[in-house]
Amino acid sequence: MSATAAASQALTPKQHRILEYLRENADERTYFKSRLIGDELDLSAKEVGANMPAIEDGEFEVDVERWGYSSSTTWKVEA
């Protein structure tokens, strides 16, 4: 099993939903606010922020980096 597959299996259902959202939208945008991700996925900004470190630390098809904190945490995502 590849490292990506193993890491992906270790994610919670919420983390999978967030990761899939980022994968689907990373080609169109680079910066994502936790609040706006939450609005799209019916999660709170706090839930998104609490689950992003698992995605940020994993080895997936997208690179995630905490970028800014004004009016909601902003994440830089690159496919």
pLDDT tens, 54-76? 999 988 989 999 988 777 799 99
**CATH number of the domain that residue 39 is part of:** 1.10.10
Please report which confidence band the pLDDT of residue 8 belongs to, taking 50, 70 and 90 as the band edges: low
Phi, psi of 26 (to 5 degrees): -65, -25
Predicted confidence at residue 30, as pLDDT, reads 93
What H or E segment, with its residue span, contains residue 41? helix 34-41
Domain count, the chain: 1
Angle between helices 34-41 and 13-25 (to 10 degrees): 110
Percent of the chain at pLDDT > 70 equals: 89
